[in-house]
Structure 1
Amino acid sequence: MANILFFTALILIWVMLLYHMFLMQGGYRHYRTYERVIPEWEKNMIDLPTVSIFIPSHNEEVVMEQTLTAMSRLYYPKDKLDIIVINDNSSDRTGEIAQGFADRYPFIRVLETKPPNKGKGKSSALNEALANSTGEIICVYDADNTPEKKAVWYLVMGLINDPKAAAMVGKFRVINAAKTWLTRFINIETICFQWMAQGGRWRWFGVATIPGTNFAIRRSVIEELGGWDVKALAEDTELTIRVYNLGYHIRFFPKAITWEQEPETLGVWWKQRTRWAQGNQYVVLKFLRQFATLKRKRIIFDLFYFFFTYFLFFFGVILSNGLFIVNLFYDLQLSIGNVAIALWILAFLLFLGEVMITLSIEKNEMNRKNFFYIILMYFTYSQMWILLVIYSLYQETKRILFKQEVKWYKTERFSQKNQGGKKDE
């Protein structure tokens, strides 16, 4: 029995690894071809739509000035731009700093949340802004983001030229990548997620996932959907499923780039990623229960990806590791053998190769230092995710059983001074 469980776990792990290899190939192909449409698309950038940019903010004084400085420099007609800082129950100088920019720039304004949305989290803040704006296109940026000058331009360009797209998704890079060992790991993870997952899934299946930042969505679509789900910690993933169910698609267009800050300490990372994992588990369980009634079955690609990532893949890893450890102290008659060892070595080499190829897409990322970080990442950062998913699943199960209210964790920010990496156009 132990042998059957062990090899079942290996199969689950390898299915995910091979799927990621497939996505990597698609992501690389997308990288080689996605810019070809730009010259033709540029010709249609004449009668531009109005754009409302939502920046949900709660105690963001550390990053607010850098963010709004970048926003004030956006390449887009300012008479068609409405940048809204949603000051959600802040107790620091967030509102004061934002108001200072609003006094200088007529296209920037501050919106104070009111009950019942006040202090309820990101989704509620976004719904508040939706009710108090008129832009034909809605863009969302987190308060720690500094988008490149033409980021919004490219997002809008995609929607103008692709009428079947409800939303356009850009690329985000880590502005504090060189700050700590943790931010170096996150930088590698971020690049791989975008090119392996987003680029590959768009190339092969015409599917992409809305992230929490640097995306644009048509107002008509978000209004038809009734806004953001206030119960979803991963409001971006939840919104993605509902968009596809309306019959639209979401396009990944990495020409639109923003630079964002990532957690610099393990405690902040743990809380943020727990929210992500728990939120995605909520989305998977929510829509799997509704799958028979979903109108668009192509959603299965997104549900499959998240179900496999947050349930089957980690179940396989946990099961195989657990059986191996138990076998050290109690003879389970586990026939691990040379085949299993060879599969583990091949899995490591596959991980190494996939990440290295993906990093080669980004300028200056595939270097000797990152090569050693990739190896270290496999044995540390990747294993931390196992513990995190177990913990988040426990939290989500407890929330469901005891009908607990969803609690939003706002990621702690760090000073952006002297943080390199950002380049503008």
Structure 2
Amino acid sequence: MSGILFGYSSSSINDSIPFMRRELGLTPAGVGLITSCFLVGAAFGSIFGGRLADRFGRKRTLVLNEILFILGTLGTSLAPNFETVLATRLFHGFSSGGITSVAPVLLAETSTPEQRSQSVTMALLILVFGEFCVFVVGAILGNVWYENDAIWRWINVLIVVPAVILVILHILIVPESPRWLAQNGKANLAWKTLRRMRRSSAQTRHELREIDAAINNINNNITTITNPQLGENEDSEKLENKPTTKKAGISDILTVSWLRTVLLVGIAVAITQQAYGVAIGMLYGTEVLREAGLDTKMALIANIGIGLISFLASWAGLLVVSRVGRRSLLIFGQIGTLSAHLAIVVCSAILPYGTARGWATFGLLLPFLAFSQGAISTVTWLMSAEIFPLSMRGIGTGICMLSAWTTACTISQLFPVSIAFRKEYNNQNL
């Protein structure tokens, strides 16, 4: 359930912007900074979160990040001015990124082998569900207390309640990862932990043997990519079985041509996912609808549809991706997203500013997000892990996700500025 925290917090800015602008007097550049700084914090939080989890344990790191998340949320909700909001949002994003990097690992390592794939993909779905939840909360609070400029603080702070509950549950109920315990010389504790989660001693013993074998394989058989005895054209399976003297790093990836190609493909897919503009829909949906012609109250309500279609599309994407294949689904999503983009441009050019254009834009945003979330985003998250050999999966996936975060930060910073520039240009040419 930790994914709900990130989904809720990352998209809470969507419904908060109209009220933050009124209370804090934000400029377009200020709106972009407040939005993008959360993503910057999340990018660094995801990097450090993984390293802390390897050193101190999955459970401890997750609980620590959840406590920091609560403090960051309270800090943002109580911030008196723009500068304080900026600092607390950065801190808030850092803790959220740590949660998203650690929670799926803990979930995967405590699940049975049969449940592992389903549980990890479910984590992505829960994250999108968190985005839907904040859109519902924002629509209700924003319409009931529309005249209250500080209502954005309540939209943000309400996530503290489930966050506190999660911290308590994780401390009292959730076990440490048996794999991490075994890897850090705590085999007896790993056995006791795994035994409590499995039906029989035989199942526990079998899974513990698999964990031990996997750890030995990583420690003794990780590929030394730079080994001169290996040709650059050898396939990944041969590389995985060669003896090694060190773990693969970024320098190892860059020394082998086919690995550089794999890395570039992963980076391109990650950047493309964000370049299509999915972050604009999830972070600025209310602003897009307001700029198209809807009033703020109606835009907040319509924003619920954006969250709902994103959730349903992500669910559908996870159901069909294994049947139709990654490449086919990715191409399908790209064609659909580009078509929706073109339709929105035509709609904006033909229809005058007003309610009709606002609802037409909303109607076209739905298929845009359906293609983006259900196809492109689903494939991106899966491919970023699958295309790399096991020995470099961690660093390869990290680089791809950092590319996605960087692109999302850039877009979220530039979008409100570009909207303001377009409005000023149109006013000068009237």
- TM-score range relative to shorter protein: under 0.3
What's the TM-score, normalizing by structure 1? 0.23
Higher strand share: 1
Higher helix share: 2
What's the TM-score, normalizing by structure 2? 0.23
